[in-house]
Amino acid sequence: MATFWHSSVALLVALLGPFSLFSPSFATAADEQIAYRLKWLINASTAGDVVAEAEGLFAAEGLQVAILPGGPERDAIREVELGRAHFGVASADQVIRGLAKGAPIVVVAQLFQVNPLNWIYRPEQTTISSGDDLRGKVIGVTYGGNDETILRTLLQRHHIGEEEVQLFSVRHDYTPFYQKKVDLWPLYRNAQGVIIGEKLRAAGEAFAFFNPDQAGVRFVANSVITSAKLLAEKPELVQRFTTALRRGWQLAMAPEHAERTAELIHRFDRETPLPLIREQLALTRELVAHPSPADIGRIDLVAWQETEAIMLEQKQIDRPVDIATALHPLAE
């Protein structure tokens, strides 16, 4: 059945190639056709994926990759297990939850070395110098999202009862934050953080970010997954994909390539002005190439284990998954 799906994907890639986000200009007929499902839409957080395709790095490894944008209803783990995608991007909590339910997936690269999830706040209205300062605040939270897990862990570690804070259910628009009804609002520092920051700056308002990582909660963000079966049956294919992807990220994060990367992203992310994409890229570099460009794609075992421990602690999973067994860093 998986073969059927893979054949279907190949057919889909061939048929939709000219109409997909990327028309691979470097691909040859002999290239292997790969479907790669992102977690979200194309933006600065997908810089390396875009660059790997546009600069022919996948093609250099003999791969014709269809990059499929993600979204709230897209789940890369499901698509990989169903054989509709060969690779995908999923957050660590999705991966661990999937493993706890028996999803046969493996992690082959970790995109963010530092979780981009932060809470934005106005320093004039709110003072946050440590997790203890969360007490008494109105805090935005995506119920069911990984920010809820992180926030609850922070509250627990700082001995703050739920009755001592007011949690506010966040949604797609930031109106309650703009209206100052909420003190802290969760966002991705390198993506929405730049856009919202720009709006606040234009309104003459100061803003700052609260980073849970600095408050002692390490929670892994986006990583690249594939199926355990594909890794077992075609390790060289997984190796080639991972190598091309890592090179794509290295190139995308190189300061001398920044302008070209920003232009490539802007082709797909038309709503975000180029200057803001440049700013987003600079911040993405701090989160991905951390502590140095050599760490791009590195799987941080300790951080993964801490993420698993947090999920157990918060009862997000009902049993340990021994995350180390699902991590497969591939040496270039």
Peptide bond into 69 cis (omega under 30): no
Binding site for another protein (CB under 8 A): 1, 72-73, 75, 77-78, 81-82, 94, 97-98, 101-104, 142-145, 168-169, 171-173, 175-176, 179, 316
Considering the complex, state which of residue 62 and residue 104 has its C-beta at the smaller distance from another protein.
104
Please provide the DSSP assignment of 282-311 as one string: HHHHHHHS-S-GGGTB---HHHHHHHHHHH
Considering the complex, state which of residue 82 and residue 324 has its C-beta at the smaller distance from another protein.
82
Considering the complex, state which of residue 63 and residue 221 has its C-beta at the smaller distance from another protein.
221
Considering the complex, state which of residue 94 and residue 118 has its C-beta at the smaller distance from another protein.
94
H or E element at residue 238: helix 235-253
Smallest separation, CB 325 to another protein (Å): 16
Residue 327 DSSP code: B
272: which 2 tokens? 């975000």
Burial class (CB in 10 A: 0-12, 13-18, 19+), 40: middle
Give the Cα separation of 58 and 24 in Å (integer). Answer: 9
Smallest separation, CB 2 to another protein (Å): 8
| Helices vs. strands in the chain: H and E counts, helices first | 13, 10
Beta bridge partners of 66: 35
Give the Cα separation of 97 and 142 in Å (integer). Answer: 17
- What is each CA distance from 132 to 143, 177, 214, 215, 226, in whole angstroms? 21, 21, 13, 9, 39
Considering the complex, state which of residue 173 and residue 332 has its C-beta at the smaller distance from another protein.
173
Smallest separation, CB 171 to another protein (Å): 4
The angle subtended at Cα 43 by Cα 143 and Cα 187, nearest 5°, is 30
Considering the complex, state which of residue 159 and residue 171 has its C-beta at the smaller distance from another protein.
171
Smallest separation, CB 83 to another protein (Å): 9
Smallest separation, CB 8 to another protein (Å): 13
Give the Cα separation of 119 and 147 in Å (integer). Answer: 9
- CA proximity to 115, closest of 299, 318, 317, 288: 288
Amino acid at 137: K
Considering the complex, state which of residue 144 and residue 216 has its C-beta at the smaller distance from another protein.
144
Secondary structure class of 165 (helix, strand, coil):
coil
Considering the complex, state which of residue 75 and residue 308 has its C-beta at the smaller distance from another protein.
75
Smallest separation, CB 33 to another protein (Å): 22
Secondary structure class of 211 (helix, strand, coil):
coil
Smallest separation, CB 228 to another protein (Å): 11
Smallest separation, CB 147 to another protein (Å): 10
